[in-house]
Amino acid sequence: MKKLEEFKKSEVRVLPYKLFWSSIPLLLLLILLGPYGSFDLQLHSTYVVATSIQLILLIIFFTLIIGGLYWFLRKQRLVTWMSIIHAILTILPFLFLVIVIQSNIFMSEYKKVVLSTTIFIPCIAIILLGQIMFIINIIISVVRKVIF
């Protein structure tokens, strides 16, 4: 019983920057183990063609920046539930896109993954909603610091 009380007092917590930075080696592992293919994204009359490696490197760069922002703000009192929602709304859509592209579910006859706007646009909208949540969290912590 005494050890349980000491454990509760020790304030074991997961810091968001560690979560984002720890996802980078997993994404690099996906580059090494995953199939090499390309994907097409058609938005009206605009076509975007990229490889799965380029998408994963873009996601790695994005998570590196977000982890750096959390590391820079580690002394601020951020709202915990907003940080959790931000992490979920950022990591899960990226993970979904990578799984869709790497698993070749939507392969065309030309060995390219064809992403439709019904998959891509909602994922990007969820990611943007998470980033808005992050900005609101930063604003709340700055206002809280000024007032208190």
Q: Of the candidates 59, 23, 55, which has an alpha carbon nearest to the alpha carbon of residue 36?
A: 55
3-state secondary structure of 83: helix
3-state secondary structure of 46: strand
Going by DSSP bridges, is the β-strand pair 46-51/38-43 parallel, antiparallel, or unpaired? antiparallel
Q: Mind listing the pLDDT tens digit for each residue in 32-68?
A: 776 666 667 777 777 777 777 888 888 889 999 999 9
- Cβ contacts of 135 within 8 Å, gap of 6 or more: none
pTM score, whole prediction: 0.74
pLDDT on residue 11: 45
Gap between the Cα atoms of 57 and 47, Å rounded:
20
Q: Where are the domains of the chain?
A: 17-147
**Where are the strands (E) in 29-144, listed by range?**
38-43, 46-51, 112-115
Task: Tell me the mean pLDDT in the region 69-81.
Answer: 86
